[in-house]
Amino acid sequence: MNDYLDQFIQTLRSEKYYSPHTCSNYRRDLQRFQAYLEERAIDNWTDVGYNDVSSFAAQRHRQGRKSRTIARELSSIRSFYQFLIRCSVVTKNPALDVSAPKSDKPLPKTCDPESLGQLLRVTDDHDELLLRDIAIFELIYSSGLRLAELVGIDLDDIDLTQQQLVVTGKGNKTRHLPVGSKAVIAIQRWLRVRPNYCRNNDQKALFLSKPGKRISTRNVQSRLNHLIQRQGLGQQISPHVLRHSFATHLLESSSDLRAVQELLGHANIATTQIYTHLDFQHLANVYDAAHPRARRKE
């Protein structure tokens, strides 16, 4: 069973270009399912049926796992069995018709513009790492970046003159993003002191850590926590909250759901609706106002 699992993870890396973090999630989900099967004396992927997958989902629900977690685990199992079908190991996908129990999806947390203004309002030009931090958080909020996208940016990926940025997102897909004027100014200030941290002329990363290496995601979160305390904000803010806030504030101002979807790099617009707190009533109002055959009679 482990051999096929290893082959599947390798396929995700080489063909799908999934990140190490995503591959690790797939492996963890499938190993959990494998352990469940072994408890029931099932030691071959070919012996798994619909009832086995359904019982696994039911057990996870009884254990108090969230619907979102169970849905992700079922998605991992479905993807794995599609791989086994491709390899002619099995002929059917036992997870195809198994669904997770429905539950209300929590709204993503956001930060209001006033609080973000307080967070990013720093005038200390002598703290070089603080200049870097402000550039990082201005850029995340300006362009709606995922944390992994932010740390992966190289010097050649950003054009401050044109105020444009190229990032590589999920599935190794690239997208071109605008960069706001405040982010441009913050990055320019950081670039003036960046040579002080560059220990290697071949280092292409835009944002560097104190030892001169590409900054890590953990370091970014730590520095954000430090900035929150420094600025006296009484709320928890993560880099992902900055991305949520970008999407929410942009949608509130423009009402252009499709544009927000493109900027966020979402493959499915339904994801964007959840991401930006869009409810059905708002969509209905837009539809009624825009579609010539949907307008209601006076």
87: which residues sit within 8 A by CB, 6+ positions away? 4, 7
The CATH class of the 113-253 domain is: mainly alpha
Three-class SS state of 274: helix
Q: Provide the pLDDT confidence category of residue 297 given band limits of 50, 70 and 90.
A: very low
Q: Which part of the chain has CATH 1.10.443.10?
A: 113-253
Domain 2-86 architecture? Orthogonal Bundle (1.10)
Position 263 scores a pLDDT of 85
63-121 pLDDT per residue, tens: 888 888 999 999 999 999 999 999 999 999 999 888 877 765 666 778 888 899 999 98
Q: Is 50 a catalytic residue?
A: no
In the chain, beta strands by DSSP E: 158-159, 164-168, 174-178
Q: Is 223 a catalytic residue?
A: no
* Overall pTM surpassing 0.95 (yes/no): no
Distance CA(186)–CA(139), nearest Å, equals: 8
Q: Which part of the chain has CATH 1.10.150.130?
A: 2-86
One of 194, 243, 244, 249 is an active-site residue; which one?
Answer: 243
212-271 pLDDT per residue, tens: 999 999 999 999 999 999 988 888 899 999 998 888 888 777 767 788 888 888 877 766
Distance CA(187)–CA(123), nearest Å, equals: 14
Q: CA nearest 117: which of 182, 190, 180, 187?
A: 182
One of 18, 26, 197, 275 is an active-site residue; which one?
Answer: 275
Q: Provide the pLDDT confidence category of residue 33 given band limits of 50, 70 and 90.
A: very high
With 80 as the cut, is the pLDDT of residue 191 above it? yes
Q: Is 61 a catalytic residue?
A: no
Q: Is 146 a catalytic residue?
A: yes
Amino acid, res. 277:
H
Rg of the chain over CA atoms, in angstroms?
A: 23
Q: CA nearest 171: which of 6, 15, 5, 8?
A: 15
34-69 pLDDT per residue, tens: 999 999 899 899 999 988 998 898 888 888 888 889
Q: Is 176 a catalytic residue?
A: no
Position 98 scores a pLDDT of 87
